[in-house]
Structure 1
Amino acid sequence: MDSLRGETGRKSLGLPPRRCLVCGRPAAECVAGRTHGTGEVRASVDRLLSVPGGVPGEGPVSAIGETARKAVLFETVAFPKPGLVDPLSRGAHGDMDCFTFLASSAALAPVWERFARLGFRFGGDDPAGLLPSLREEGIRAERMMFSATGGINTHKGLIFSLGILCASAGMIASEGIPLSPEVCASRGAAIVRGITGRDFASLKGTADGRPLTAGERFYLSDGVTGIRGEAERGFPSVTGTGLPSLRSSLAKGLSLNDAMVDGLLALMTVVEDTNILSRGGREGERIVRENAVYALEVGGMGSKEGKEAVREMNGLFTRCNLSPGGSADLLAVTVFLHLLTPASG
Structure 2
Amino acid sequence: MPASVHADLDRLARLVDSALRVEARLTPKPGLVDHRNNGAHSDMDLHTLTVSADALAPWWVEFGLVGTRYARTPGESGDDEAFLADLRSVGRTVEQVMFDATDGINTHKGAVFAFGLLLGCAGRRIAEGRRIDVGVCDDVAEVATAVLVDDLIASDRAPATAGERLFRDHGLTGARGQAASGYATAREVGLVAYREAMEILAVQPHLALGPMMRDRALLHALLAMLAVNADTNLAHRGGVDAMGWVAGRAERILARGGALDPDYVRLVEMFDDELIHARLSPGGTADLLAVTIWLSALPQAPA
Please name the residue that 2:296 is paired with: 338
* In structure 1, C-alpha distance between the alignment counterparts of 2:100 and 2:27, rounded to whole Å: 26
Name the residue aligned to 1:131: 84
Q: Cα deviation per residue 1:228-280 (whole Å; 9 max; x = unaligned)?
A: 01111211101110110111111122511111111111111111111000011
Which residue identity does 2:243 align to in structure 1?
Answer: E
1:122 aligns with 2:63: no
Shift in Å, 1:163? 1.2
Q: Per-residue deviation at 1:80?
A: 0.6
1:97: how far off?
A: 0.3
* CA displacement at 1:127 relative to structure 2: 6.0
- Contact 2:71-2:127 within 8 A present in 1 as well: no
Structure 1 position 197 matched with structure 2 position 145: no
Query: Any unmatched runs of 5+ in structure 2?
Result: 202-207
1:321 aligned residue (270, 279, 296)? 279
Match of 1:140 in 2: 93
Comparing both chains, which one has the higher relative contact order based on Cα–Cα distances under 8 Å and sequence gaps of 6 or more? 2
Q: TM-score, normalised by structure 1?
A: 0.79
Render the CA deviation track for 1:19-45: whole Å, top value 9, x for unaligned.
xxxxxxxxxxxxxxxxxxxxxxxxxxx
Q: Residue 68 of structure 1: CA displacement? A: 0.9
Amino acid at match of 1:168: C
What does residue 228 of structure 1 align with? 176
Q: CA deviation at 1:144?
A: 0.5
Q: CA deviation at 1:174?
A: 2.2
Given the superposition, is the C-alpha separation of residues 262 and 179 from structure 1 closer, same or farther in structure 2, using an over 3 Å criterion? same
- The answer to whether the Cα contact below 8 Å between 2:149 and 2:155 also exists between their aligned partners in 1 is no
Distance in 2 separating the partners of 1:229 and 1:94: 28
Q: Is the 8 A contact 1:67 1:340 kept in 2?
A: no
* 1:165 matched to 2:118: yes
Matched, 1:267 2:225: yes
Encode CA deviations 1:302-336: one digit per residue, 9 max, x unaligned: 22233322111001000001100000000000101
Give distance in 2, aligned partners of 1:131 and 1:204.
20
Query: Which letter maps to 1:322?
Result: L
CA contact (8 A) 1:298 1:305 kept: no
- Closer, same or farther in 2 for the Cα pair 1:173/1:73, shift >3 Å? same
Q: Distance in 2 between matches of 1:193 and 1:127?
A: 14
Q: Is the 8 A contact 1:64 1:170 kept in 2?
A: no
Rounded to whole Å, the distance in 1 between the matches of 2:128 and 2:155 is 37
Gaps of 5+ in 1: 1-48, 207-211
> Which position in structure 2 is the counterpart of 1:67?
15
Query: Do the aligned residues in 1 keep the contact of 2:71 with 2:125 (CA within 8 Å)?
Result: no
Confirm or deny: 8 A CA contact 1:72 1:105 kept in the other structure: yes
Larger Rg: 1 or 2?
Answer: 1
User: How far does residue 112 in structure 1 lie from its aligned partner after superposition?
Assistant: 1.3
Letter in 1 for 2:191: L
2:269 aligns with 311
> What residue number does 1:153 align with?
106
TM-score (norm 2): 0.89
SS at match of 2:219: helix
Identical-residue share of aligned pairs (%): 35
Q: Distance in 2 between matches of 1:297 and 1:260?
A: 17
- The equivalent of 1:98 in structure 2 is 46
Other-structure match for 2:215: 257
Match of 1:83 among 28, 31, 35: 31
**CA distance change for structure 1 residues 202 and 177 in 2, over 3 Å: closer, same or farther?**
closer
2:162 aligned partner: 214
Which segment is superposed worse, 121-130 or 248-257? 121-130
